[in-house]
Amino acid sequence: MLHSVSWVSHLPLVVFCGLMTFNPAAKADTVAVTDIVRAQCLSCHQMDRNRVGPPFREIAQRYAHGPAQEAQAYLQRQIQQGSRGNWGAIPMPAQNRINAEQAQAIAAWLLSLANSSTKETS
Ligand code: HEC
């Protein structure tokens, strides 16, 4: 009984830790980026699984080996303009609510995922 009460009182901390794990890099704008991603991308993308679109980590791994600046510029453009034919039959609509600065930050965040580890190491 007492035990379950203390569990509930720790819930905010647990949720907070979950968010910290979700943030791969401790960049200044990481929190804003993950907020945007959560609000506008996770309906179609998941981190490690196919949803409507490809998993974010797989996208990161596909583009991470090229020159970092080019990869980031490419992803920024794809996020803003949308994408078709790179992953499958379903196209991604242009993300009109994302401005250039946000798209750039998201692109940098995406690329940082390539190096972060998952539970499912293959
Ligand atoms: C309506 C569903 C949907 C939403 C919302 C969405 N995506 Fe996508 N996304 C897709 C699909 C589908 C693809 C695969 C497109 C393709 O095959 O080229 C994709 C592909 C991508 C790619 C890879 C592009 C490439 O050239 O390989 C990136 C990066 C990406 N999405 C980022 C984002 C980000 C960031 C957001 C949020 C701002 C977002 N997506 C929101 C459906 C979505």
Question: What pTM was estimated for this model as a whole?
Answer: 0.79
Which has the closest alpha carbon to 59: 78, 43, 34? 78
The Cα 57–Cα 93 span in angstroms is 20
Average pLDDT over residues 46-70: 96
The Cα 18–Cα 106 span in angstroms is 20
Average pLDDT over residues 15-39: 67
Evaluate: CB of 88 within 6 angstroms of ligand 1: yes
Tens-digit pLDDT profile for residues 59-115: 999 999 889 999 999 999 999 999 999 999 999 999 999 999 999 999 999 999 998
Instruction: Give the position, in ligand 1's atom list, of the atom nearest the Cα of 89.
Output: 17
Q: What rounded mean pLDDT belongs to the chain?
A: 83
Evaluate: CB of 93 within 6 angstroms of ligand 1: yes
Phi-psi group of 75: left, alpha or beta (phi > 0 → left; psi -120 to 50 → alpha; rest → beta): alpha
Average pLDDT over residues 27-48: 88
Domain edges within the chain? 7-85+93-112
What is 7-85+93-112's CATH number, 1.10.10.1200, 2.60.40.10, 2.40.30.60, 1.10.760.10? 1.10.760.10
Average pLDDT over residues 111-121: 73
Other Cβ atoms less than 10 A from the Cβ of 87: the count is 16
Residue that wins the pLDDT comparison between 6 and 25: 6
Cα 82 to averaged position of ligand 1 atoms, centre (Å): 7
- Contact present, 110 and 78 (Cβ < 8 Å): no
**pLDDT(121) > 50:** no
Q: In a mutational test of the pocket of ligand 1, which residue from 92, 99, 101 has the highest number of ligand atoms less than 8 Å from its CB? A: 92
Q: Whose CA is nearest to atom 38 of ligand 1?
A: 41
Evaluate: CB of 85 within 6 angstroms of ligand 1: yes
Q: Supply the pLDDT for residue 30.
A: 72
Evaluate: CB of 59 within 6 angstroms of ligand 1: yes
Helices (H), the chain: 2-9, 11-22, 30-40, 56-63, 68-81, 100-112
Q: Whose CA is nearest to atom 12 of ligand 1?
A: 53
Of the listed ranges 4-8, 37-41, 52-56, 85-89, the one predicted with least confidence: 4-8
- Contact present, 44 and 51 (Cβ < 8 Å): yes
